Structure 1
Amino acid sequence: MPVPHRAHRARRTGAGVVVALTLALVLDAPGAAAADPTLDLGAAGLPEARTTQVLEPGVDLTQVVRGSAPAAPDAIETTVLGPWRVAVLRVDPRTAKGRLVATYGPDLARTETTSDLVASAGALGGVNASYFTYTKNPAYPGDPVGLGLYDGHLLSEPGATSTEVDVLLDARTGRVRFGRTSWSGRVRNTKTRKSLALERLNTPPVVPKGCTKLKDPRRCTRSGDVVRFDRAFAERTPKGRGAEVVLGRDGCVVRASKSRGRRLSAHQTSVQATGRQTKTLLRVGKKGACLRTTSTLRDDRGKTVELAKGLYGVAGRYRLVQGGKVVVKDKPQAFFERNPRTLVGTTASGVVALVTIDGRQTTSVGATLEEAARVAVSLGLTDAVNLDGGGSTTMVVGGRLVGSPSHGDERAVGDALVYVPR
């Protein structure tokens, strides 16, 4: 998507479209890459070429090529000779003057290339970030899969799978936390006290089987979904069977309907329901009623996370490194095989590293999850999480691609982590 969205996003920074992350980060100071050990990849003694470019004080780009001769196409999965191409964008908050930020484009539902997201944010560089629905929901391909928390606004609830690892970033204190989070939400009629549990945020609800052809959705007796939508998701909410109530700025119902799909103005939100929850929503959210929405995020200790301005969160799949040690092991599954990888990690010295490993190519064979974790340790990371990879893996610096996406062309993605100069 073209760059003219930049001014639009800048006006919406407070709403979380471009999110400042003041981080306590990690590797040794940028610029010291020459002292780094070789990568723990493949056979010992492979030739390794490493170049480092200082982009500005506290920010550098290191590119590593390990191995020399191109791999045979049928040996990409098994070769111990490589080659591998790894790029590391490092930011030291002790000296860097800019900000590491997250941007998801004009709304949550659409996708853009990493290059477009970097350019429209006015960023020096960045990488793709979260997993997103992609082909699962072609109408809303950018819908995040897992936690999406932007400047205190929770726009996507944590995933239910044990493989999700959430990264909480507090811009007020610089504290970074890795772990699982959980969420619960509810809408309650302030007058009657009748309430309904929320099941998701900004994700199209599913109509239960057997209820897709009912003329009156209130007749469905099977359990469905209850989902809250923000204008940040999309200008128009998903269409379909069920019910929807639209709430004004004050939380009072301005429209209640036995169908779904409405255009929301800047300060409106809505709640959609399918299945037997349809009838309940229409009772709780009659036109003119006022609803109070609660949304509670908890960390892995069960402690409530305050959804305050300055707090951000994204989700990855699988923790790679914890306490400086590899904590993931490869399994005989496609996800664990050699693929392009994008990582985010921190080290004890206060630098953040955004890492990409090109893959599925004879010029860079990619990494299994365990190999990616060993790369992270080689780079000095004490904690690291695997972000979206495969065809999504992309790094852009100075308006140019660093390395090459596995499909040749960039894949449009849901969001990106980028560094914006002061």
Structure 2
Amino acid sequence: MKKFRKILCTILFTLVVLLSLSVPISAEFFQANLVDFVKSERIITIPIFAPAEKIEITAGNDTVLAAAGSGELSLEPGKKYIISQNKIELSTEEQTAVENQTSTEFPTVPVVLNPGWGIQIMASSTEEKAAAYKKEAAAEIEAELRIIEEDQLFKVIAGLYPERAQAEKLQKEIEAEGYKGWPREIEIKGKEQQTAPDKVETELKEQAEFETESSENNSSDSKGLILYNQDGKKLREAYVFEIKGEFKANSKEMRGSYQFGPLANSVLFSYKTDIEELTAHLLQNYFSPAAPMDALKAQAVVYRTTILYQLETQGAKLEKLGYIDFSSLSPIFKEAAAAAADEVLIKDNEFFYNHDFSLRKINKPKTGTVALAQAEYSYQEIINYYYERSNIANLNDLIDSEEKFSARITQGLHLKEIRQMSWSGPRVITIIDYDLNNESLKLKPVLAQSTVPGREDLADLIKEHQALAGVNGGYFHYSGRPLGLLYINGELVSEPLYNRSSILIDQENNISFAQVDWQGELLVNNLDFKVKLDGVNKEVKAEEIILFNYFYGPRMPALDNQHYDIVVRDDKILGVESEAGVQTAIPPDGFVIRFPTQRTDIRNRISELKNKEITLNYNFTPDLSEKNIIHAVGGGPRLLEAGELKITGQEEGFQNDILNGRAPRTAVALTGDNHLLLLTIDGRQNNFSVGMTLAEVAQTLKDLGAVDAVNLDGGGSARMVIRGFTMNNPSEKRLISNGVIVDERDN
């Protein structure tokens, strides 16, 4: 993967003109702590009481303790247990017993890492996900990786240097491998860790050398908490413990599911929740279940807005909410929160708490909220009564957007990158803006390796065709065969699939979108002979009749005993090939049709048909010949039509992996002023870009001025290349079957 900065510099020298722009952000909803909260899976941590050096648990009848990587441990009812980061004090007799039990264990040595600078590349609410990400990144990043825990988040840090400049150098190297991160100051506190005896002397020496810290000395890799029984025997060790059931924690009666985690040298006992559940708990804390639904919904919007302020100012760990009883939640309050799910108050492109300071605190509901609901005020009317200057908005519709840069590729062709922050996470959008009024450029599809099947790197495709820019094209089989329409220079490479949406390009480079259907047939002139085709250049299944042309290559797949080939050249039938194992030659000025042996009616007439004039009909709907279409590439589903969202995924037979969820995407759109937008959205990179749903892609294109749009292949295929350089950040390195390129017209 190419370095992003290197790409920009190369374009600067190659294209002469590079305009680095920083357009003001259109909204300011997501500030630093909210950004971290969203990137970290939107999990809220609520401390039940102040962190303590140790927490004593008295188990109930159903108390269960669990930790990542180990099974559940049922705690014995009535027994006491202790959770701590440190060794607990034992009597002399108890200490002797413990030492006898653990005499084969390695001695411990203190781990002390100096403060310094590293690159944060990921944060997660779970240790498992952070560890998995660290393991994956370690294969590509040479710097030492460690996991640190801050504010109940597990953060993957690369490197540890005394100077920021050293960390920034590492940041550039990391970006070259496709990872996004930012320099930050870190301090990893000391902790005892078991170490093999023959390593003790070496490791103690290494601790004094800042830049040679061994990964075995990484305090983030050691287990943070220890569970002891009441006799001081160590039972289990883990970074985080989950506890559920009925129990006492430091003498406080508890019921439900909670978590123990390390915080500095203490233990934090907390409840994990999300914004919707916390909203419901706040409603339950302040309302009677008999309260009118509209009163509850109105207050849910207010509380959700207030919680956002708490998250923005405190981070994901919310203090002073330990008074809430998290042991149970009435369905009434869950229903009320869900009925106004994700709704918040805004004003002037920011949250309303910046205008009404009363929303910065979690207060009791307004006195008249219930009375207004009883008077049949809707929840919107109740909100307007108390907060008349605000507007109700859905969190999922709020986006901070900034155009990071714009570059002129050539006359009529521009590149821009847009960075967005949304409630679902960050999004990176890369756009090629092609002015179709510029007659010196043209758009066309290209086939990898010029054969079916075949796969190739998009950058190599761009280079081979000496093109200016391009994106990946339609869907394809893992072998490289296109799955859907591919039509190049008036020749069919692959037939349409499920009447899916396609890009159509005519002789004058006019571009349109349509759902394309097809029926192929072979006619023998002056004879009552017609053969219906089942496909082009694809694997032959039982009873299918498949046509192979020069796009497949010089020869057919080897014949088996179940098929035979009829060879056509210069619109005449030359003969038949039926010997098993033969790879029939495909004429460059003709084609071969593979028949199943069951079709003896055709084979028996070969002598009669030989040298007869034939006609090959590709009956497209719409008629491509009538529209003078010379190129077409299938994709789908449709995203926009006549300026309105129209997603035809179900109609076009797409599976859920395409239709649902956020993913990297590629799309093509036409604007009202005759521009073509080639767009990629990076995804599956939570700290960089989470991707988009099809609806979000459609709305984004509409916001950019598009009136018609079609989706193309996405996921790991989503890629944009300009003059050989990858401009987006693909989620994986994938070879593709076909692409869509912008090239200069031949003089």
- TM-score tier by shorter-chain length is 0.7 to 0.9
Distance 2:501 2:676 in 1: 17
Q: Tell me whether 1:119 sits opposite 2:457 in the alignment.
A: no
Change in 2 beyond 3 A, CA 1:370/1:310: closer
CA contact (8 A) 2:24 2:402 kept: no
CA contact (8 A) 1:64 1:86 kept: yes
Q: Tell me whether 1:158 sits opposite 2:496 in the alignment.
A: yes
- The amino acid of 1:90's aligned partner reads D
- The amino acid of 1:103's aligned partner reads V
Distance 2:461 2:626 in 1: 25
Q: Tell me whether 1:338 sits opposite 2:676 in the alignment.
A: no
Q: Which residue of 1 aligns with 2:427?
A: 84
TM-superposition CA deviations, 1:248-267 (whole Å, max 9, x none): 22422244325473132422
Distance 1:200 1:36 in 2: 52
Q: Which residue of 2 aligns with 1:347?
A: 671
Distance 2:535 2:415 in 1: 38
Q: Which residue of 2 aligns with 1:298?
A: 620
Distance 2:485 2:585 in 1: 25
Higher helix proportion: 2
Distance 2:610 2:395 in 1: 63
Change in 2 beyond 3 A, CA 1:194/1:107: same
Local SS of the residue matching 1:295: strand
Change in 2 beyond 3 A, CA 1:176/1:96: closer
Q: Tell me whether 1:238 sits opposite 2:557 in the alignment.
A: yes
TM-superposition CA deviations, 1:118-177 (whole Å, max 9, x none): 11110111100011112xxxxxx2222111222222232211x25x112222123x4433
Distance 1:275 1:42 in 2: 58
Local SS of the residue matching 1:382: strand
How far residue 41 of structure 1 moved from its aligned partner, in angstroms, is 9.9
- The amino acid of 1:144's aligned partner reads P
Q: Tell me whether 1:374 sits opposite 2:699 in the alignment.
A: yes
TM-superposition CA deviations, 1:29-51 (whole Å, max 9, x none): xx9x9889969995525253431
1:21-420 matches, cutoff 5 A: 42=396, 44-46=398-400, 48-67=402-421, 80-95=423-438, 97-105=440-448, 106-134=450-478, 141-159=479-497, 161=498, 164-172=500-508, 174-190=509-525, 192-207=527-542, 224-239=543-558, 240=560, 241-257=562-578, 259=580, 261-274=583-596, 276-277=598-599, 279-286=600-607, 288-290=610-612, 292-300=614-622, 304-306=623-625, 311-328=630-647, 333-335=656-658, 336-362=660-686, 363-407=688-732, 409=733, 411-420=734-743
Distance 2:24 2:445 in 1: 28
Distance 2:697 2:405 in 1: 20
**TM-score, structure 2 normalization:** 0.44
Q: Percent identity?
A: 25
Distance 1:41 1:100 in 2: 38
Distance 2:641 2:472 in 1: 22
CA contact (8 A) 2:470 2:720 kept: yes
Distance 1:151 1:325 in 2: 32
- Asked which structure has the greater CA Rg, the reply is 2
Distance 2:496 2:717 in 1: 21
- The amino acid of 2:601's aligned partner reads T
Q: Which residue of 2 aligns with 1:421?
A: 744
CA contact (8 A) 1:181 1:297 kept: no
- The amino acid of 1:182's aligned partner reads D
Distance 2:452 2:716 in 1: 20
Q: For the aligned residues, what is the CA RMSD? A: 3.1
CA contact (8 A) 1:238 1:261 kept: yes
TM-superposition CA deviations, 1:202-228 (whole Å, max 9, x none): 212102xxxxxxxxxxxxxxxx10111
CA contact (8 A) 2:488 2:632 kept: yes
Q: Which residue of 1 aligns with 2:108?
A: none
Distance 2:626 2:552 in 1: 18
Can you give the 5+ residue segments of structure 2 that lack an aligned partner in the other structure? 1-18, 28-393
CA contact (8 A) 1:195 1:284 kept: no
Change in 2 beyond 3 A, CA 1:329/1:53: same
Distance 1:296 1:191 in 2: 19
- The amino acid of 1:104's aligned partner reads L
Can you give the 5+ residue segments of structure 1 that lack an aligned partner in the other structure? 1-30, 68-78, 135-140, 208-223
Distance 2:635 2:475 in 1: 7
Q: Which residue of 2 aligns with 1:7?
A: none
Distance 1:339 1:94 in 2: 32
How far residue 359 of structure 1 moved from its aligned partner, in angstroms, is 0.7
Change in 2 beyond 3 A, CA 1:44/1:388: same
TM-superposition CA deviations, 1:49-99 (whole Å, max 9, x none): 4311011111100111112xxxxxxxxxxx715211110011112236232
- The amino acid of 1:269's aligned partner reads F
Distance 1:87 1:41 in 2: 24
Distance 2:494 2:461 in 1: 19
Distance 1:149 1:171 in 2: 13
CA contact (8 A) 2:524 2:613 kept: yes
Distance 1:37 1:292 in 2: 63
Distance 1:157 1:358 in 2: 29
Distance 2:698 2:425 in 1: 16
Change in 2 beyond 3 A, CA 1:35/1:383: farther
- The amino acid of 1:98's aligned partner reads L
How far residue 231 of structure 1 moved from its aligned partner, in angstroms, is 1.1
Change in 2 beyond 3 A, CA 1:227/1:45: closer
**TM-score, structure 1 normalization:** 0.75
- The amino acid of 2:470's aligned partner reads G
Distance 2:521 2:579 in 1: 20
Aligned residues: 351
How far residue 324 of structure 1 moved from its aligned partner, in angstroms, is 1.1
TM-superposition CA deviations, 1:265-303 (whole Å, max 9, x none): 4223100012623x2331344483435133233335xxx
Local SS of the residue matching 1:342: strand
